[in-house]
Homo-oligomer: A and B are copies of this chain.
Amino acid sequence: MTDLKPFLSDNAAAVHPKVWEAMRAADSPDNPYDGDALSAELDARFTALFGRECAGLWVATGTAANCLALGTMCAPHGAVVCHEEAHIEVDEGGAPGFFLHGAKLILVPGEGALLTPEGIAAAIDPIRDDVHQVQPHAVSITQASEYGRAYALPELEALGKFAATRGLGLHMDGARFANAAAGLSQDAGEAARAASGPVDSLAFGFIKNGGMGAEAVVLFDPDRAAEVRYRRKRAGHLQCKGRYLAAQVLAMLEDDLWLANAAHANAAAREVASGCGERLMHEVDANELFVRLSPAEREALRGDGFAFYDWGAEAARFVTAWNTAQEDAAALGKAIAAL
């Protein structure tokens, strides 16, 4: 596959050299599980980044990160409100049903796979307050969204206010949190705060952004951390050589590598977007592009060596990554513009 110009996904990209370096440095023995010195740093590092107290726990996948966080917010007899195309609904193999012991997902439509207070209200207001109907306990939003759109801070604040008013927890699936953040500010703290707003928990993704197998569950109510630690173990997600996961996370935080990698991917996406014009189905806030392309046009692009997924019958999805070559992005933009 190496000769292709790869825009299939960021989820299988190579691991960043600094992440490798940090993992190798973790080879010297330390306590198992999360008793090591590296894991012990996470709470403080995330607290410093977000400027409010939080706990940070490593876990191997975004699916686990989302579900462990949501498990603290939604009882088995409750429901999580999410977009009808949210990853937790469409692409996690029913993991929320498993981790939340049969809790329900309440699906909400919304442009760009973004939620609004109005959209959520329209979905949950008809739910009668009686035991025959599953009551919403939490809301899960995705930053950047499944269509590469990012919530800006005022939108997050409106959602946070709505959730608080309704007594709902607010979780953020941040598989591409870095890409959303990088679109909002070039200062890491500011970007992190703007992209997370007042959420109660965040699945902070690193794997698509240069990591290997470590995401972080960030809990802005650190009192929830104890429960998540029990649930992480119970789900078989407490790795005994956890220091290698902590090392990955710390490497991504060090010198704001997470933001730099995401900014690179976003720049590549903008480069591609510059050739797409009216073909773009959604604004490009992060590193994903959804582009109207006929079958023949897609075939032509593939003939030129571009790899990407179809998106239905008349469109394609392109994803850039931390290591997308600038010339590949430029070539793709030009090739689309020339169709």
Contacts and interface: CB of A to CB of B under 8 A. Distances in A.
Interface of A: 1-2, 6, 9, 11-15, 20, 24, 27-33, 36, 59-61, 63-65, 67, 75-77, 79, 90-104, 131-135, 207-208, 212-213, 227, 229-241, 243-245
A136 B250 CA distance: 34
Contact of A213 (B14, B60, B90): B60
Contacts of A229: 131
A230 B93 contact: yes
Most buried by B among A103, A133, A135, A207: A133
Contact of A94 (B30, B59, B102): B102
Copies in the complex: 4
Contacts of A97: 76, 97, 101-104, 234
A238 B27 contact: no
A61 B239 contact: yes
Most buried by B among A63, A75, A96, A131: A131
Contacts of A213: 60, 213, 239, 241, 244-245
29 contacts: A1-B28, A1-B31, A11-B32, A11-B241, A12-B30, A12-B31, A12-B243, A13-B29, A33-B131, A60-B237, A61-B236, A61-B239, A67-B236, A76-B94, A77-B227, A77-B231, A92-B234, A93-B134, A94-B234, A95-B235, A97-B97, A97-B101, A97-B102, A97-B104, A98-B101, A100-B102, A102-B102, A212-B241, A235-B235
Contacts of A244: 15, 212-213
A29 B1 contact: yes
A103 B234 CA distance: 11
A131 B33 CA distance: 10
Nearest to A307: B29
B27 A14 contact: yes
A98 B103 CA distance: 8
A24 B13 contact: no
A240 B207 contact: yes
Contacts of A2: 28-29
Given A63-B233, A93-B233, A97-B97, 16 more contacts: A1-B31, A9-B32, A11-B241, A12-B32, A60-B60, A77-B98, A94-B102, A94-B134, A95-B234, A95-B235, A131-B234, A207-B239, A208-B240, A213-B239, A235-B235, A235-B236
A36 B235 CA distance: 25
A183 to B, nearest CB: 23
Contact of A98 (B11, B79, B95, B235): B235
B239 A60 contact: yes
B241 A131 contact: no
Contacts of A235: 64, 95, 98, 235-236
Given A29-B13, A234-B95, A234-B98, A90 B133 contact: yes
Given A61-B239, A94-B234, A241-B212, A24 B29 contact: no
A12 B245 CA distance: 13
A292 B28 CA distance: 30
Contacts of A33: 131
